[in-house]
Structure 1
Amino acid sequence: MRFRSLESRIVTLFLVLLIVVQLVGLAVIQRGIDSNARTAIAAELVNGGKVFARLMDQNAQNLRNGARLLARDTGFLAAIGNTDEGDRATIESALANHGRRIKASMTMLVSPERKVVASTSDAQAAGLEHMVVTMLDKAEESDGANGVAVVERMPYQIVVVPVKAPVTIGFVVMAFPLDERLARDMRETTALQTLLLTRDARGHWLPVASSWPPASVGTIMPQLQSMRSVPAGAVDLAIDGDRYSVRMTPIGEDDGHVAVAMLGRSIDEATAEYERLEHWLLGLTVAGIVICAVASVLTAKRIAQPLRQLAESARRLEQGDYKVDIASSRADEIGALANAFGSMRDGIAKREQEIKRLAYWDPLTNLPNRAQFLLKLNDSLGDAKKRGGSVYVLMMDLDRFKHVNDVMGHSFGDALLKLVAGRLQQLLANRRHQAYLARLGGDEFAVLLPGSDLGQAVVVASEILQALETPLSLEQQMVDIGAGIGIAGYPEHGVDGEELLGKTEVAMYTAKQRNDGAVVYEESIDEGSQQSLSLLTELRRAVENNELRLFVQPKITFSSGSVVGAEALVRWQHPVRGNVFPDQFIPFAEQTGFIRVLTQWVLERSAELCHALAQRGIHLKVSVNLSTRDLLDQDLPVKVAEIFMRHHVSPGAFCLEITESAIMDDPVRAQQTLERLHAMGCDLSIDDFGTGYSSLAYLKRLPVDELKIDKSFVLNMANDVGDAKIVRSTIDLGHNMGLRVVAEGVEDDAAWNILAEMGCDQGQGYFMSRPMPADQLAGWVENWRAPALAE
């Protein structure tokens, strides 16, 4: 049983609680026993003091009775009345005999004049004379008196009785020693140890009589010598290794000497019975701890064992074993926990099934998705490697699907994908050879042809293209849709599933670019793709490393010859390839969508240029080209406004150029974007006008300010009458529509003169200036001189 386990903690908790409770109980009991024992001992000592006082009184009464007998004896009275020597001897003999009879240590006769007449011990009589004299008056009044005197540090009980005949003719005095007999009587009567002591004026204690053995008295006396006075209450003394509670009772005082009776009771003896009870309680405690430990272990096992089983079940659930039995017949909380585990197992199993379905199946078409298709492809490749067979993959991307999605909405697009999936399933189901259809994502589908050769794959691709030629009917609309299909197979093109899919995708994009329907993968195609991928990576690096440069080509008015604008152009200063011209990377940037990053860069640099020129007093309208992807970006107006605000330039300082093809790719969205840009204050220009297929009626609705005649018409118009007519017609058309007209490709003075004669507004070309770095424009403008027009 590990210490950190729940089972060990339960056992430890139970045992600690029991031990703490038992120890507290034992401590309380011990304290109670000690308190009760001391209370009882204190009561015994108090009662013992009373008994000792009563015993002293009884002895005194016995002495008084004996003294009265002597005082009333006729012969003794007669002897006192005579004063000759014979009667004196009789008196002494009577005193001695009577004193021995009652065990008095000294007997004497005192005259009414307070003089000792006779004595059985002259030494004691001399020691007691002073105290006896003080007792005579009380004895005469009360027919007797008693007290305690200390003679030579020994205590004596003194009795004085008057001798009357009928008047007082003397006093009989008897002394009774306080010795071991009194201590033994006290021990027998009260069971208390008794020690009679005297204390002189200097504070020295002297033992007189004791019921303790002499050796015990020897241990008592050093402890008493440290006491400077007689303690009022009980004190504890250590006697022969035993604890005693003692109480000192003063019994008399004579000329600075104090007689004391010390009564003692053994504390250990008094608590002996309680100690036996404590031993029983301790034994019961140990037995209770053992029983509790056994019960705790059993209880902990009963609690922990099901929990361990549940933990093991949880580990099996973690490993994916959902058949583990977690049923429990217990009706307590552990049973409820087991039932909750069972419900959790069922819920996890259902959710995992759903997750697997979502992970490997397309929820829209209920076809396998890319992950499931890749697993199936790898399995087919494994079988083909074992048998020496082949596997082919077809990947298709629908044509014009994005346009349908944008125009008709996503719900319409989803319904269209379901129809396409149904048509493909029906086509492949009727084939004799096995085919496996999947939707890879978006409008991309794939077909796995295990055991097929290239010829069969091409046939299937042809059948799919033919099936898609028939328009689809959806929501009372006929949708014409096609596809580009790529073909690749094992072992000709790849041995791995991912590799095969990648090459199939390369072939598919080639088919869409060429508009060839179906294309089989070739190495030359992949080399171009790798170059494109490398070019995209280098383009990103070019922006990050500031390898791009802004060039401009001035725009001149034919009427005045003044510089009114400049077209912004981008150049790439590659660290290895050198100067990379726009024709080499702009089309690729448009295909990949990176053109938006380039447009953002050109707008930023152009705004900087505009601001710098304005500070030098040069105000030009900068033209920037927008691509198709730029026009489809609904956030473009916001981005442009942020750039203008950041560089403190006016929107009127910019003319945004758009090609006809860019507008016609998605006219609705393009028009929305252009209207927002025009509302900001930007001029708009149709670039390369005359090379596209735009409708004049549609162009009329656009918020356009300028037409740019494509340079292909301008370059040869001096020698080609047809080009000249097109240029003249375009200039007239633009003016009739209220637009300014700009001619590109002005490369000689002949073109300059012709365009000026035709009334063209502005021109740009090598005749005026080649594209130059943006930082050279200000100097060029200041040095520009317009060419003279021909007469």
Structure 2
Amino acid sequence: MRFNRRFSFHFRSLESRIVTLFLLLIVLVQVVGLLVIQRGIESNARAAIAMELNNGGKVFRRLLEQNAQSLRFGARLLARDTAFVAAIGNNEEADRATIESALANHGRRIKASASMLVSAERKITATTSEPQSAGLSALVLGMLDQAEASDGANGIGVVDRYPYQVVVMPVKAPIVIGWIVMTFPIDRQLAEEMRDVSALQTTIATRDKAGSWLPVASTLGAPLAGGLMRQMEARPPASPADGAFEAEIGDTRYSARRQLIGEDAGQNVSVVLARSIDEAIAEYARLERWLLGLTIAGILISAAVSIVTAKRIAQPLSQLAGVARRLERGDYKGQIEFKREDEIGALAHAFDSMRDGIAKREQEIRRLAYWDTLTNLPNRAQFLLHLNDSIAESRKREASVFVLMMDLDRFKHVNDVMGHSFGDALLRQVAARLQLRLAERRHTSAQVARLGGDEFAVLLPDADLEQAQLIAQELLDALETPLSLEDQMVDIGAGMGIAGYPMHGEDGEQLLGMAEVAMYTAKQRSAGAVVYHAAFDKASEQSLSLLTELRNAVERNEFRLFVQPKIMLGTGKAVGAEALVRWAHPERGNVFPDQFIPFAEQTGFIRVLTRWVMEQSAILAHELAARGLNLKISVNLSTRDLMDQDLPVKFADILARHQLGPSAFCLEITESAIMDDPVRAQQTLERLHEMGLDLSIDDFGTGYSSLAYLKRLPVNELKIDKSFVLNMENDIGDTKIVRSTIDLGHNMGLRVVAEGIESEAVWRLLMRMGCDQGQGYFMSRPIPADQLAAWLENWRPPIAMPGDAAVEPYPAPAPAARGAAHAE
């Protein structure tokens, strides 16, 4: 069988679950990884921007410092000019025009927006821009001392909200005779230079005393710079002068840093450096898109791999499930062609081995179910199949079919004397002889079968009654010749019954039953072969009716448990009770035990009845124990009970369910029941004895048992049959038998019980002989089990026992009829 490679996806299938699990894990891992990377990119980008802005602030200050150095150098050249110093020193009106011209010319050379001269008296005496001089006078005058001490000073001033870089240089000859002041605008040129150096958007802005911002110069352009100022104005008043913040200008997010570069008369000048976040993470975004693409590709590839993997795992399992379903239906054909070296391959190989093993075992089971292992002949089930097939075929062709059924004579005796192995060999020889005789007479269509035990059957298709009788006689003649086995000559015969279709019955079971009835009739009459007749079935129908009623009696709870107390003769104490059964038939009334007990023993129903008595006795013992009344309940066992090898197990189950110890029961067995099959009986009795159950020999003295054999039995009690007890006070012979039996029992270490005590005189006589216990109508007739507790409360012994106070004699009841097995 080759596996189908087609893929079918079912949501609840193992394949779909494997794929779903793999995909979920892959997607989860990829998404988590992508989110972590995205957060890392964002974090790294912001950290890089922050560092870039911080460095940009340093670069901008360095640019301002460089500009200041350049301006100071230009101002120093003018301050060292001899003619300019001389003109200042003369301080004449004619030199004033020279000074102003020098200031203007030198200012143009170094691109100063304004130049001015401050006299030694700290007054501005010359200027190239009156407005700037007026606006910067306070700042300039405050810088003179620093400039004199440091040979120059520089600062930031604001005029009309525009920032200027101011340089003050002293003029010495050799003492300070004045100061040269030059101003340079902080404008777009500086901002663009900053952007060229750092790639940062640079905005120079001033803030007046009212908190209003004015963008002086910006590389962003006027609209964007205005938007930046509005967001700065919206910041909380407590925001630090220097610090980073984020702004969204237009459609672009910026990370910005404001840095204060100077103050003048309550106005401050700041530079705002900004970096576009979107531009900063643009490279990362491309990397992120690549990563997203790789993630999707990985998911798709993983999905394909997981589907293939799931197919490799689930499809073989599905195929193996199909194999299992075929095995379930009994189809063991076809090899499992599966070439894999992994665990699934091992499982497929195991399935193949299991299929072969099951096929072989089923073949063996079928052989055991339909063939007799001892003779290798068809058994009853197989014979019945062949018989029904032959009847169906004969019905089509309007032909007839006959069945011969035989039961060997004296086989049980041979089995008991020579042993089971000898009996098995004998059955094999009988089977071979029957087959040989049919082959010699060329009855090729006849089929021989062993139905069980020593019963054989022969199927005769397409035969009439005359042919069936002829063949039956030939087979009986074959069995008349003695068999030689293990140097022993065995003389054996058989009783044979004949029944046929359509003469007697319409189906196989019916024919077998009729042939069996005829066979037992033949054995009873010693008539060899007997053809079935309807008259043979009357007794069978009555028996069948009684068996059906017995079964219904159990189901309908028609049986009643009665008990007869057992008394210690020496003390008068009740120590036990014998369990008896009564049948309250709904139509016939009370049915006596001797009317159904023998039949129950013959049919095997006695096992069901014994089980019922055991169960009810256990219930009674449990109820009495709950009241503090510990009595040993005696239950009778029949021959078939002793042949039941599961009897000890059944008793153990009853004791466990009712929480009773083995000492609560005594099992009574008749001598005849033991002697029917002493070996099996002893095995069963030994197992019961090992459980702790007391065993009693019932009706002792009435059988023909061997005392040498009985002494080996694990019994505890000997029960004298009532036939010796009833009249022992008048019959010296019975008295001697009872006395001898009591002495025999005590010598064997057994407890002795006498049954059938019906008078006080017999009680006293038994007590003097040393009998241990007794039961009979004198003490109590059998009573319903539910009345035993009340009887025990009212019971009084008939005589004063040694050591006891005298009590009134108990009036003995009138004698009544006595029952049979399971009854007194």
For normalisation by structure 2, the TM-score amounts to 0.72
Cα 1:596–1:520 change in 2 (3 A) is same
Cα 1:91–1:464 change in 2 (3 A) is same
Cα 1:671–1:175 change in 2 (3 A) is closer
1:571–1:582: 8 Å Cα contact kept in structure 2?
yes
1:545 maps to 2:557:
yes
Q: What SS is found at the alignment partner of 1:494?
A: coil
The code of the aligned residue for 1:497 comes to: G
2:189 is matched with which residue: 169, 181, 200?
A: 181
Shift of the alpha carbon at 1:195? 0.7
Q: What SS is found at the alignment partner of 1:212?
A: coil
Q: What SS is found at the alignment partner of 2:174?
A: coil
2:804 equivalent in structure 1: none
1:247 is matched with which residue: 238, 245, 257?
A: 257
Q: After superposition, what is the alpha-carbon deviation per residue over 1:300-357, rounded to whole angstroms, capped at 9, x for unaligned?
A: 6666666666555555555555442433566666655555554444434333332322
1:191 equivalent in structure 2: 199
1:162–1:171: 8 Å Cα contact kept in structure 2?
yes
1:461 maps to 2:461:
no
1:578 equivalent in structure 2: 589
Shift of the alpha carbon at 1:109? 2.2
Q: After superposition, what is the alpha-carbon deviation per residue over 1:262-292, rounded to whole angstroms, capped at 9, x for unaligned?
A: 2222232233334334444444554555555
2:811 equivalent in structure 1: 782
Cα 1:476–1:216 change in 2 (3 A) is same
Q: After superposition, what is the alpha-carbon deviation per residue over 1:426-465, rounded to whole angstroms, capped at 9, x for unaligned?
A: 2333233321111223333222111122333333334444
1:549–1:572: 8 Å Cα contact kept in structure 2?
no
2:627 equivalent in structure 1: none
2:725–2:734: 8 Å Cα contact kept in structure 1?
no
Cα 1:626–1:108 change in 2 (3 A) is closer
Shift of the alpha carbon at 1:168? 1.2
The code of the aligned residue for 1:573 comes to: A
1:217 equivalent in structure 2: 225
Shift of the alpha carbon at 1:100? 4.6
CA–CA separation in structure 2 for the residues paired with 1:576 and 1:282: 93
Shift of the alpha carbon at 1:105? 3.3
1:349 equivalent in structure 2: 359
40-49 vs 52-61, which moves further: 40-49
CA–CA separation in structure 2 for the residues paired with 1:608 and 1:302: 63
Shift of the alpha carbon at 1:388? 0.5
CA–CA separation in structure 1 for the residues paired with 2:706 and 2:71: 161
The code of the aligned residue for 1:161 comes to: M
Shift of the alpha carbon at 1:66? 3.4
1:389 is matched with which residue: 365, 390, 399?
A: 399
1:154 equivalent in structure 2: 162
1:686–1:707: 8 Å Cα contact kept in structure 2?
no
Shift of the alpha carbon at 1:495? 2.0
1:276 maps to 2:286:
yes
1:358 maps to 2:365:
no
321-330 vs 243-252, which moves further: 321-330
The code of the aligned residue for 1:2 comes to: F
CA–CA separation in structure 1 for the residues paired with 2:469 and 2:411: 24
340-349 vs 184-193, which moves further: 340-349
Cα 1:497–1:119 change in 2 (3 A) is same
2:750 equivalent in structure 1: none
The code of the aligned residue for 1:364 comes to: L
CA–CA separation in structure 2 for the residues paired with 1:369 and 1:580: 39
The code of the aligned residue for 2:454 comes to: D
CA–CA separation in structure 1 for the residues paired with 2:698 and 2:113: 152
Q: After superposition, what is the alpha-carbon deviation per residue over 1:539-562, rounded to whole angstroms, capped at 9, x for unaligned?
A: 3454662544759999xxxxxxxx
1:260 is matched with which residue: 270, 284, 302?
A: 270
Cα 1:30–1:671 change in 2 (3 A) is closer
2:9 equivalent in structure 1: 2
Q: What SS is found at the alignment partner of 1:392?
A: strand
CA–CA separation in structure 2 for the residues paired with 1:136 and 1:105: 20
Shift of the alpha carbon at 1:380? 0.8
Larger-Rg structure? 1
2:59 is matched with which residue: 47, 51, 64?
A: 51
Cα 1:30–1:597 change in 2 (3 A) is closer
1:494 maps to 2:505:
yes
2:458 equivalent in structure 1: 447
2:113–2:185: 8 Å Cα contact kept in structure 1?
yes
Q: After superposition, what is the alpha-carbon deviation per residue over 1:365-407, rounded to whole angstroms, capped at 9, x for unaligned?
A: 1111222212211211121011101112223334454455455
1:105 maps to 2:113:
yes
47-56 vs 662-671, which moves further: 662-671
The code of the aligned residue for 1:370 comes to: R
Cα 1:628–1:469 change in 2 (3 A) is farther
Shift of the alpha carbon at 1:576? 0.9
CA–CA separation in structure 2 for the residues paired with 1:104 and 1:409: 143
1:380 is matched with which residue: 384, 387, 390?
A: 390
Shift of the alpha carbon at 1:733? 8.7
1:437 is matched with which residue: 445, 448, 452?
A: 448
CA–CA separation in structure 1 for the residues paired with 2:559 and 2:167: 138
1:707–1:739: 8 Å Cα contact kept in structure 2?
no
2:204–2:272: 8 Å Cα contact kept in structure 1?
yes
2:107–2:113: 8 Å Cα contact kept in structure 1?
yes
1:327 is matched with which residue: 337, 353, 359?
A: 337
Alignment of 1:124-143 (within 5 A): 124-143=132-151
CA–CA separation in structure 1 for the residues paired with 2:347 and 2:60: 78
The code of the aligned residue for 2:514 comes to: K
Cα 1:146–1:418 change in 2 (3 A) is same
Q: Percent of aligned positions with the same letter in both sequences?
A: 62
CA–CA separation in structure 1 for the residues paired with 2:498 and 2:306: 73
1:550–1:605: 8 Å Cα contact kept in structure 2?
no
2:773 equivalent in structure 1: none
The code of the aligned residue for 1:372 comes to: Q
Alignment of 1:199-214 (within 5 A): 199-200=207-208, 204-214=212-222
CA–CA separation in structure 1 for the residues paired with 2:366 and 2:674: 44
CA–CA separation in structure 1 for the residues paired with 2:608 and 2:677: 21
1:708 equivalent in structure 2: 723
The code of the aligned residue for 2:557 comes to: N
1:760 equivalent in structure 2: none
2:559–2:581: 8 Å Cα contact kept in structure 1?
no
1:706–1:739: 8 Å Cα contact kept in structure 2?
no
1:237–1:246: 8 Å Cα contact kept in structure 2?
yes
1:534 maps to 2:545:
yes
- Structure 2 spans left out of the alignment, 5+ residues: 1-7, 567-576, 622-632, 713-717, 744-753, 759-777, 797-808, 816-824
Alignment of 1:23-102 (within 5 A): 23=31, 26-27=34-35, 30-31=38-39, 33-73=41-81, 76-81=84-89, 87-88=95-96, 91-92=99-100, 94-96=102-104, 98-102=106-110
1:417 is matched with which residue: 407, 427, 431?
A: 427
Q: What SS is found at the alignment partner of 2:389?
A: helix
CA–CA separation in structure 2 for the residues paired with 1:162 and 1:121: 20
2:122 equivalent in structure 1: 114
Q: What SS is found at the alignment partner of 1:708?
A: helix
2:747 equivalent in structure 1: none
CA–CA separation in structure 2 for the residues paired with 1:567 and 1:10: 70
2:665–2:694: 8 Å Cα contact kept in structure 1?
no
387-396 vs 418-427, which moves further: 418-427
1:520 equivalent in structure 2: 531
CA–CA separation in structure 1 for the residues paired with 2:37 and 2:665: 98
CA–CA separation in structure 2 for the residues paired with 1:632 and 1:450: 38
The code of the aligned residue for 2:428 comes to: K
The code of the aligned residue for 2:369 comes to: A
Cα 1:125–1:411 change in 2 (3 A) is farther
- Structure 1 spans left out of the alignment, 5+ residues: 555-565, 611-621, 715-726, 747-767, 787-791
Cα 1:490–1:250 change in 2 (3 A) is same
The code of the aligned residue for 1:150 comes to: V
1:752 equivalent in structure 2: none
2:177 equivalent in structure 1: 169
